[in-house]
């Protein structure tokens, strides 16, 4: 049996020439088929039967001595010359791992497949996170509620792997190929595609945005800044999320996206809040507007309010009826939770609502020496003051309204000649929104304020809530009746 033994390149072993190949030119390298040589080991017997994979590198050449010798008693020839034949040819390199016990070369194990932990937002081809194959991306879990949403990716080419321990300069990327401006443009385009549903998303909106935030940090950007830039048709991504929300069940992901936008964009700048108010006028959904107002990014709680509300804005009930007719009339119903505690501790209750294509602000607060002087009609410190105003983006209008505090039994209208729980809010000029801000206000009598705060108040319900009704007409009227 003839074996070819390939050892380390630095070792020169004696070679026995093959008489049958004496006529072969020395310049031509012999047929080369390396076979692993080892002792008769049963464990390795099957491994040596597989030839090793040879990869030739044309740029690296080294002389290799091939030694042929007779093994066993079955040899049929002997060498007549003792000079070895040492042809020069490219040294093979083997793509195998050397074992510690023998010269056997084994295939290197492939790394196991790992599913990305955050999202499919990959930064570059050099990232260590494995990509999902198309067949794997189409697999769906039986319990996954997003069965029709394949994976989506954003590729930022040549981006280095993100290392939280490193502080990168915001002026350029580590590779120097993608600038922060380029990365911001790519991310703005991704947010636009996300809003326009150019592709479906399998993960939750919050997971997707966390991946976006990680990608932004690599280039020295912040996702909060990108979300508040007017980069999509002159508006912020938050604006378009508000406009696209609807009661339709298909809008569930848009609601999730809006919630995630607000979470990652906080704290919001005043231009962003203004853009959101304009979006609420474009999509005058009362329930959506009240949900947005209660969001921590829109109404952050501080100090006493944070402690009193346990970090959650109370869900006051707001309902608006727009009555038919030419007087642009509406009736707004409010149920204010924790009314007595809010007036005692915070000295203020603020309500906002949408009616007749406008955003309104209704405030009930305790008069102080400071704010009493700002009122057109001076109020005695300690009494309750009610003010009505328009919010930004609303058109000017005339207002003639009645503010009524309902009793426990639900009686909204005061008895004849009894004006204790009712007051009129009427503008002498058109009510204007900021920047030309104007308000109309009036104050209750001090006795009524004390009556509402008493333990056995006829107005406050057992759960601590108070019902308020606002009847308004947006036409100039001279009569005392508002809704008639």
Q: Consecutive 10-residue runs of the chain (484 residues): their mean pLDDT?
A: 45 50 48 47 49 48 45 44 49 46 48 49 38 40 37 42 42 63 90 83 87 91 95 95 83 89 95 96 95 95 94 95 88 96 95 96 90 68 92 94 88 58 90 89 88 91 93 78 53
* 299: β partners: none
Q: Is 313 left (phi over 0), alpha (psi -120 to 50) or beta?
A: beta
In our burial notation (b when 16+ CB lie closer than 10 A, e otherwise), range 320-359 reads beeeeeebbbbbbbbbbbbbbebbeebeebebbbbbbebb
Query: Helix 237-244 crosses helix 270-282 at what angle (to 10 degrees)?
Result: 20
How far is the first Cα of the chain from the last one, in angstroms, to the nearest whole number?
A: 116
Cα pseudo-dihedral 305, 224, 229, 159, rounded to 10: 180
Q: What is the pLDDT of residue 397?
A: 95
* 311-476 CATH pick, 3.30.70.2860, 2.40.50.140, 1.10.10.10, 2.60.210.10: 2.60.210.10
How far is the C-alpha of 32 from the C-alpha of 418, rounded, in Å?
114
The long-range contacts involving 103-106, CB below 8 angstroms and separated by at least 24 positions, are 103/6, 103/7, 103/36, 103/37, 103/38, 104/36, 104/38, 104/44, 104/47, 104/48, 105/36, 105/52, 106/47
- Exposure letters 6-35 (e unless 16+ CB within 10 A, then b): beeeeeeeebbbeeeeeeeeeeeeeeeeee
Distance CA 373, CA 383 (A): 13
Three-state SS for 152?
Answer: coil
> Which DSSP string corresponds to 58-103?
TT------------SS------S--PPP----PPEEE-EEEPSSSS
CA distance 377 to 429: 15
Predicted pLDDT at 120: 43
* Strands lying side by side in the sheet with 439-443: 348-355, 358-366, 384-390, 439-443
What are residue 443's phi and psi, to 5 degrees? -125, 145
Q: Which residue has tokens 């509620």?
A: 145
What are the backbone angles phi and psi of residue 245, rounded to the nearest 5°? -70, 145
Residues 288, 280: contact at Cβ < 8 Å?
A: yes
pTM given for the model: 0.63
E strands, 323-465, where? 329-336, 348-355, 358-366, 384-390, 400-405, 422-426, 439-443
Q: How far apart (Å, rounded) are the C-alpha atoms in residues 135 and 392?
A: 51
Contacts of 118 (CB under 8 A, 6+ apart): 207, 210, 211, 214
Q: Are 257 and 194 in contact (CB under 8 A)?
A: yes
What is the structure's pLDDT at 411?
Answer: 67
Q: What is the pLDDT of residue 40?
A: 53
Instruction: Give the pLDDT of residue 110.
Output: 56
């Amino acid at each position: 049996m003839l074996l070819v033994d390939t050892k380390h390149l630095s070792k020169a072993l004696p070679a026995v020439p093959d008489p049958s190949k004496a006529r072969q030119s020395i310049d031509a390298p012999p047929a080369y088929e390396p076979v692993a040589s080892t002792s008769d080991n049963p464990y390795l017997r099957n491994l040596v039967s597989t030839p090793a994979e040879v990869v030739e590198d044309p740029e690296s050449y080294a002389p290799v001595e091939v030694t042929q010798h007779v093994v066993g008693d079955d040899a049929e020839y002997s060498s007549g010359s003792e000079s070895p034949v040492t042809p020069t040819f490219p040294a093979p390199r083997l793509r195998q791992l050397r074992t510690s016990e023998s010269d056997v070369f084994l295939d290197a194990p492939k790394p196991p497949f790992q599913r990305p932990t955050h999202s499919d937002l990959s930064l570059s081809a050099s990232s260590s996170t494995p990509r999902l194959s198309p067949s794997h991306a189409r697999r769906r879990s039986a319990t996954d509620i997003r069965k029709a949403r394949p994976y989506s990716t954003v590729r930022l080419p040549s981006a280095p792997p993100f290392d939280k321990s490193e502080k990168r300069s915001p002026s350029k990327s580590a590779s120097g190929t993608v600038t922060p401006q380029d990365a911001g443009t790519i991310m703005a385009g991704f947010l636009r595609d996300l809003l326009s549903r150019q592709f479906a998303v399998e993960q939750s909106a919050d997971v997707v945005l966390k991946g976006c935030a990680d990608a932004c940090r690599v280039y020295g950007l912040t996702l909060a800044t990108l979300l508040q830039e007017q980069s999509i048709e002159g508006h912020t991504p938050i604006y378009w999320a508000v406009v696209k929300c609807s009661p339709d069940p298909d809008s569930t992901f848009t609601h999730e996206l809006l919630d995630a936008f607000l979470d990652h964009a906080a704290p919001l700048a005043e231009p962003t809040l203004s853009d959101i108010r304009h979006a609420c006028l474009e999509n005058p959904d009362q329930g959506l507007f009240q949900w947005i107002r209660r969001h921590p990014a829109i109404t952050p709680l501080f100090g006493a309010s944070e402690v009193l509300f346990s970090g959650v804005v109370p869900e006051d009930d707001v309902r608006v009826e727009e009555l038919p007719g030419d007087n642009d009339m509406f009736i707004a119903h409010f149920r204010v939770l924790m009314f007595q505690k809010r007036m005692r501790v915070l000295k203020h209750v603020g309500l906002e609502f949408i009616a007749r294509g406008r955003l309104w602000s209704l405030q009930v607060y305790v008069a102080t020496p400071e704010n009493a002087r700002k009122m057109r009609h001076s109020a005695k410190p300690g009494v309750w003051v009610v003010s009505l105003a328009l919010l930004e983006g609303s058109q000017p209008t005339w207002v003639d309204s009645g503010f009524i505090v309902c009793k426990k039994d639900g009686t909204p209208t005061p008895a004849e000649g009894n004006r204790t729980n009712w007051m009129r809010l009427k503008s002498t000029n058109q009510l204007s929104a900021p920047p030309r801000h104007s308000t109309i206000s009036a104050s209750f009598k001090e006795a009524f304020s004390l009556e509402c705060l008493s333990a056995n108040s006829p107005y406050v319900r057992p759960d601590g809530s108070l019902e308020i009704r606002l009847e308004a007409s947006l036409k100039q009227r001279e009569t005392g009746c508002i809704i008639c």
